[in-house]
């Protein structure tokens, strides 16, 4: 009964909830994030980089243990990455991740070989910055109808936890 009402509201753009605002925080624990990454990367090609583990530390820093195969070479690295803390979703729906410190020659190699690894249409890698268009990602994964409700997304980290702060509103 309640599910039927909610389904009718969903189809009507949640018109019965006009004026509602929801603010919240979704804490993603390191274990859950690693499970999600493992699940998402199982269908990648044989030559795609493999994310072995993500470690979440303070100050919007994550350490990604990744193994990459380039030509006949295989290398496992720990990349310390900084996540931009604010995503101005309605105007600028981009999540940006960049090296926390200079990668030097390794950075040049990553730029050089980055085109060898396929990315979804909503993701780009340029100038050592990985950018994810969250609006396009939502569309690609069947969540386009919820885009108008997203007003704000922010990301903060503390040891072992990546917090997603959000504000949703029904206009």
Mean pLDDT: which of 22-36, 68-82, 92-106 is highest?
22-36
pLDDT computed for residue 41 by the predictor: 74
Domain map of the chain by residue range? 19-169
- Could you give the C-alpha distances from 26 to 3, 41, 166, in angstroms and in order? 23, 22, 8
pLDDT computed for residue 114 by the predictor: 60
Model confidence at 109: pLDDT above 60: no
Q: What is the mean pLDDT of residues 28-53?
A: 83
pLDDT computed for residue 1 by the predictor: 81
Model confidence at 52: pLDDT above 70: yes
pLDDT computed for residue 44 by the predictor: 62
């Amino acid at each position: 009964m309640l599910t039927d009402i909610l389904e009718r509201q969903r189809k009507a753009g949640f018109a019965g909830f006009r004026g509602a605002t929801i603010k919240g925080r979704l804490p993603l624990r390191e274990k859950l994030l690693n499970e999600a990454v493992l699940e998402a990367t199982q269908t990648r090609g044989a030559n795609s980089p493999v994310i072995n583990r993500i470690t979440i530390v303070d100050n919007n820093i994550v350490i990604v243990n990744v193994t990459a195969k380039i030509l006949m070479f295989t290398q496992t690295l720990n990349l310390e990455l900084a996540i931009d803390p604010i995503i101005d979703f309605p105007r600028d729906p981009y999540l940006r991740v960049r090296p926390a410190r200079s990668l030097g020659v390794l950075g040049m190699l990553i730029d050089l070989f980055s085109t060898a690894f396929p990315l979804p249409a909503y993701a780009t890698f340029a100038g050592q910055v990985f950018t994810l268009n969250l609006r396009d990602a939502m569309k690609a994964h069947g969540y386009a109808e919820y885009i108008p409700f997203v007003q704000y997304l922010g990301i903060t980290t503390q040891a072992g936890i990546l917090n997603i702060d959000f504000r949703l509103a029904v206009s």
